[in-house]
Amino acid sequence: MYTIKLFLFIVPLVISSRIDQDHPSFGSISPQPKSRFAMLDDVKILANGLLQLGHGLKDFVHKTKGQINDIFQKLNIFDQSFYDLSLQTNEIKEEEKKLRNTTSKLQVKNEEVKNMSLELNLKLENVLEEKILLQKKVRYLEEQLTNLIKNQPEIQEHPEVTSLKTFVQQQDSSIKDLLQTVEEQYRQLNQQHSQIKEIENQLRRSGIQESIENSLSSKPRAPRTTPSLHLNETKNVEHDDMPVDCTAIYNKGEHTSGIYPIRPSNSQVFTVYCDVKSGNSWTLIQHRIDGSQNFNETWKNYRYGFGQLDGEFWLGLEKIYSIVKQSNYILRIELEDWKDTKHYIEYSFHLGNHETNYKLRLIEIKGNVPNILPENKDLVFSTWDHKAQGHVLCPESYSGGWWWHDVCEENNLNGKYNKPRAKAKPERRRGICWKSQNGRLYSIKSTKMLIRPIDSESFE
């Protein structure tokens, strides 16, 4: 553009110069003859201007071409964008169409659901009306039956009524059998759970076992001043570095009450609760505190044990026998009444095996409570499903397994657990009972039965 402007500026100047040369002033000398050709300088100037004009036009054309190419590229981009937008618009339209179809279907289903709901409401109303009618009919039949019984009390029952009663009794008996089966399975599950906990405790306690470094103590003993039964003379020793009872655990340095594994002689490993008190460790064989465990169990469960060692439990007659057959043991019974008064009594005793129905003989040593169990008598253990001869009615009447003599006593520490003053006397007789020498019947809140060797210092 600059070259074109320069050319347009030079051309008038050249033409003006030529006019001045062709028309001299009036006062000048007469003109010379005109030349047919333009002057060389003018031609050069004009040519130079045309050349610059050509270059300028060339640059302008190149720039214009580049701008046109840019415009075409932008138009292509716009076309592509417009095409993409048209595709997206088509997709949106298709989705919108699908949504409309779905909405239509949902509306149809909604109408169907409404219709079904109305039908159900109608049916429910009909059922309620039928229920009211049936209730009225049942009341009418009850009234008729009551009147019939009052007016004809001596008429014999109809055979159909008798057969119906028989059928109901049979069904009731079947239900009771099923309940007993379920209870038995539940007890087995509890026993398996207890065995699992015993195994876990064995694994936890396995790290505390140490080898025996000292032989049996040889220090002199003072003569015994309390009566005892010398029926088991086997020393209370350990096998395979496993303690045989809680006393052996205490002598190893474990002076804390808790659950520990033991292995009596010729027996398997099992866990017990050791109750440490007054410089001795007692093996707890029975514990009742709140009635959370049902003690009206079967002979099998009383033989092998039930409950939880950290709560209410019965260790098991077979386990108790495996411990006490090793030496002479003391049986300690602790009672606590509902006034939080504590009592205890200790016996020397002998326990037989399962062939004798775990026959028990007792001799009292000491205590601050009147004698609970009869002395110097054979007490035989019985349960509701395993009745020893001569003691048939005791487990049924007093609930729970226990040692009985020829007369059912009022002292059953495995009986039904009752709250104080909650039941009449016939029901309280089935609870945790203790009858004093004056004949008064007490209900016990908590009980413990514990055993330990008579001369615990002799066994290390």
Q: What is the pLDDT of residues 76-111, one digit of tens each?
A: 999 899 999 999 999 999 999 999 998 888 989 888
Burial of 432 (0-12, 13-18, 19+ CB in 10 A): buried
Average of per-residue pLDDT values in the chain:
77
pLDDT tens for 240-249 read: 578 999 999 9
Stretch 13-24: mean pLDDT: 53
- Please check the confidence at residue 392 and state whether its pLDDT lies above 60: no
**Minimum mean pLDDT range among 61-70, 314-323, 362-371:** 362-371
Return all residues near 277 (Cβ < 8 A) that are at least 6 apart.
none
- pTM reported for the whole predicted model: 0.49
Q: Are 297 and 422 in contact (CB under 8 A)?
A: no
pLDDT for position 219: 32
Fold of 246-453: Gamma Fibrinogen; Chain A, domain 1 (3.90.215)
pLDDT tens for 59-73 read: 999 999 999 999 999
Distances (CA, A) of 118 to 111, 126, 382: 11, 12, 65
pLDDT for position 170: 75
Stretch 23-30: mean pLDDT: 47
pLDDT for position 88: 92
**Pairwise CA distance, residues 176 & 188, whole Å:** 18
pLDDT for position 110: 85
Q: Which comes out higher in pLDDT, residue 118 or 395?
A: 118
Q: Which comes out higher in pLDDT, residue 263 or 161?
A: 263
